[in-house]
Structure 1
Amino acid sequence: MKYRSRVTAAGVAMATLALAGCGGAGGTGNSGDSAKIAMQTGSDRTKALTAGAKKEKHLLWYTTMIPDQLVEPLVKAFEAKYPYIKVDYYRGNSTDVAQKTVQEYKSRRYKVDLVDGTGTSSLLKEAGVLQPFKSPQLADYPADLKASDGYWGTELQYFMALAYNTKSVKPSEAPKTYEDLLDPRWKGKMAWSTSDTSGGPLFLGNLIDAWGKTKADAYIHKLAGQKIANLDSSGRAVIDQVVSGQQPIALEVFNDQVEVSKAKGAPVDWVPLNPVTAQLSRISLVKQPPHPNAAMLFLDFMFSEAGQKIIQAGGGIPGKPGVDAEVPKLKPEKGGFKAQYMDPDTTFKQTTQWSEIYKQNFVG
C-alpha cells in the first residue's frame, strides 16, 4: 500500500463537513473498546496491550514520512520487537492522508489505525475521526510537542530557515535578522514558495503570531518592496534554485533539507531568523481502529528513545527532548535559535487568512 492520490485541501474540507454533517463516524466498530485501550494506564498496561496485539496480528498506518529514510526502518525495528505484528502503510502528503481517511469513514470502512502529518490531525479532529490516547512515553515531551487533550504527539519536527548560495552571498554578509531582509542590497534577490502551508504564507503567519498584527503589518508592508520571487513549487525545489545559483537567497525553507544538500558539497548554507517557524508532524489514533492494541504499542515505540533514534538516523529531526538531530544544530537547543511553536489547530484555521495577506502584498 505505497501509492498516493492527488487531492486538494478544499476537497478535504468539503468531505470533512459532509462527514460532520452525518454525525461523525457512526456505524459499527470497536470505538468503545478502543477508547478504554487508548486511555489505559498502570503497571500491567504493556502486558495487556501485548496480549491484545498478539490476537490482532496487524496494524495499518497512513503516513506522510519518506518510506526509505524513515517509514521502512521504523516498521522493520517495530516488527523485530513485536514479531507477531505485521505493519502495512500508505504514504501520501497530509491532505492525501486526511482525504483517504475521511472517505473511508464516510463509507463506514474502518481500516486504518494511525495517521500522521503536519495538518492531518487538525483536519481529522474537526471531522470527528480521531480519539485521544495516553502514552507514558510522552511524559517528558514539553507541552508544545503534545496535545493537551491527548489527540496527538509529535514524532518529527521541522524548522524553517533562510538559505543562501555561498558563492553569491558571503557568510558574513548573509541576513541574520528579519530587519536585515529589508536591506536594499537584497531587493530582487530573494525567493520563497507560494505554498499555502509553507513558504510566503507561513513566513507571514509566523510573524503575525509572534509580533502581533500591528507590528507585523508594518514590517510586511516594507518587505513587500523587496520584490521577493514567488516560486510555484515545493520548498525543496526552492532550495534547489539556491543551490544552482538561480536565486541567491530563499526564505522559509526546511533547515534539514539545506543540510542534506550542504553535506553533498552544494554551495548552500542556512541561517535561523528568530523566531524560527516550527512545524510539527503529529501522529494520531483514529476513532475506530481495528487494531487498537497494536496501535498503542506502535505509538509507544514511536515516542520512545529507540523510535526517535531511528528518526534521527534517517535524517529527521526527532521530537523527543534529549534526542538530537543527526546534525545537532538543526534543533533549537543545540542550534542556539528560538523556535516559534504555533498551535497547530490555530495555524490550520488561520492558513486561509495568511494566504490572503500574502497575495495582497506579494502577488501581482
Structure 2
Amino acid sequence: MRRIIFLWGWVLFLSQLPFPAWGQDARLAKARDEKKVVVYNTTTVPDMQKLIEGFHKKYPFLEVESFRSSGERLLQKIFTEARAGRYFADAYIISGLQLWLLRDAGQVVPYLSPEREGVLKPFKDEAGYWAGVYFNLEVIGVNTRLTQPREMPKRWEDLLDPRWKGRMALENEEIPWFASLQQIMGEEKAMDFSRRLAKQQLQMRSGHTLISQLLAAGEVALTPTLRVNIAETLKMKGAPVEWAAIEPVAPNAPVSLGLAKNAPHPNSARLFIDFILSREGQTVVRELNRNPTRGDVEQPVPRATKVKLFEMNWDGVVKNYARYVKDFNDIFGVTSGEK
C-alpha cells in the first residue's frame, strides 16, 4: 500500500512539472549529439556574428555555421540543392517575401516555438512557418555636405528634380520598395514614376551597406532607401548623413526565420530559432540598431516610432513577385550578372 501511495505521489509531482521542460531536456540531449546548426542567411556579417555570439553563450556546445548571400542568390541555391535532393541548411534568416516563397514551394516546415508568444501579431503566421526577426524602415538618406536642408525631398516626385541626376544610388534588389510604391501610389502612377526615376541615371549597386558607405563618403548625394538603423549608426560615428521619411512608409516585410525542410540538425535548429525569438535574442537585435519584433523589447530609434506607416498587402506581392522582379529589372536595367 505504501508503495502504491509513494508511486502515486511521484506521478503527481511529475505532473506539476511544465511539460515543455521535459521536451527541452530531450531536445538539448539530441542537439548535443548534432553538434552544430547551419543557417543560410542574408544578414550582414557583423550582425550575424553578434547573434551567433549570443546563441553560443547560451549553448556553448553548438557550433553555428553561417552561409550568407543576397536574397535572390540564396533562393537559387536553396532551390538548386532541393532539386538535387541535397539538404544542408537547418534554418533560414531571409526577407519575409522570400521566406514566403520558400513556404509556398514546400522548403520550410512549421515550428511553433514557445518564444513566438512574445512576437507581435503582424510579424508571425498562425501555422508556424515563419516569424520575424527584425523589420527595416527605408527612408530618404542624404549626404549633408552635398545637400542643403531645404533640398531634402518631401515627395517622391522631388527625386525627379534635375539636381539629383547622376547623384543617386539604388539597391539592385529593391523589390519590396518597388512593390510598396505601387500600393501607395497606385500601379499606373508608380510605374510612370519609376520609369522617370530610372532616367535620373541612378547608380545600381548591390547591398544596402555598400550604398550607405558610398553615401557617407560623398560618392553619391542621395539614396531613396536608406535603412534607419544604418543611418543612425553612421550618424553616431560622425558621418555626414541625415534621413527623412516620405510618409506613409511601408516597412519592409520582416526579415524572418524558418525551419528548413529536411534539416540535418533539426533539434539544434529549433534551439537556434527559440533563442533568436526570445527576449534575450531580440535584445541583441535591438543592440544592433535593428527593429525587434517582440512587444517586450524597446525599439532602438525613438524618432522612427513616430513615422506614419502604411499597411502592405504582402500576400499580393508574393503572388506577383516574379512580375515585380521582371518589371524592376527592366525599368532600372538590372541584369542577372549584377545581383
CA spacing shift, 1:111–1:352, aligned 2, 3 Å:
closer
For the pair 1:55 / 2:55, whether they are aligned, the reply is no
1:121 alignment counterpart: 99
SS in 2 for 1:302: helix
Counterpart AA for 1:206:
S
SS in 2 for 1:65: coil
1:180-214 CA-partner distances (Å, limit 9, x unpaired): 445x464526523261x31xx54432121223324
Q: 1:309 deviation in Å?
A: 0.9
Alignment of structure 1 residues 9-158 onto 2, 5 Å: 43-57=18-32, 58=35, 59-67=37-45, 69-118=46-95, 119-158=97-136
SS in 2 for 1:276: coil
- Aligned sequence identity (%): 24
**Which residue of 258, 275, 297 maps to 1:323?**
297
Whether the 8 Å contact between 1:64 and 1:93 is mirrored in structure 2 is yes
Partners in 1 of 2:219 and 2:39 — Cα distance?
39
1:231 alignment counterpart: 203
Whether the 8 Å contact between 1:161 and 1:271 is mirrored in structure 2 is yes
Q: 1:79 deviation in Å?
A: 3.0
1:299-341 CA-partner distances (Å, limit 9, x unpaired): 1211111001112223333222342344443xx4x24332554
Alignment of structure 1 residues 170-249 onto 2, 5 Å: 170-181=148-159, 184=161, 186=163, 188=165, 191-193=168-170, 195=172, 197-198=173-174, 202-217=176-191, 219-220=193-194, 224=196, 227-234=199-206, 235-249=208-222
CA spacing shift, 1:111–1:44, aligned 2, 3 Å:
farther
Partners in 1 of 2:47 and 2:65 — Cα distance?
14
Counterpart AA for 1:254:
R
Whether the 8 Å contact between 2:40 and 2:92 is mirrored in structure 1 is yes
Q: 1:170 deviation in Å?
A: 2.4
SS in 1 for 2:148: coil
The TM-score, its normalising length taken from structure 1, stands at 0.73
Counterpart AA for 1:117:
I
Whether the 8 Å contact between 2:134 and 2:255 is mirrored in structure 1 is yes
Counterpart AA for 1:134:
L
Whether the 8 Å contact between 2:118 and 2:296 is mirrored in structure 1 is no
1:243-264 CA-partner distances (Å, limit 9, x unpaired): 3334332212322222222222
Partners in 2 of 1:241 and 1:180 — Cα distance?
21
CA spacing shift, 1:292–1:257, aligned 2, 3 Å:
same
**Which residue of 225, 238, 248 maps to 1:265?**
238
**Structure 1: runs of 5+ lacking an equivalent:** 1-41
Q: 1:354 deviation in Å?
A: 3.2
Counterpart AA for 2:263:
P
CA spacing shift, 1:285–1:72, aligned 2, 3 Å:
same
SS in 1 for 2:39: strand
Rg (Cα) greater in structure: 2
Whether the 8 Å contact between 2:87 and 2:263 is mirrored in structure 1 is yes
1:167 alignment counterpart: 145
SS in 2 for 1:228: coil
CA spacing shift, 1:189–1:273, aligned 2, 3 Å:
farther
Give the total of aligned pairs. 312
Q: 1:282 deviation in Å?
A: 0.9
Whether the 8 Å contact between 2:247 and 2:307 is mirrored in structure 1 is no
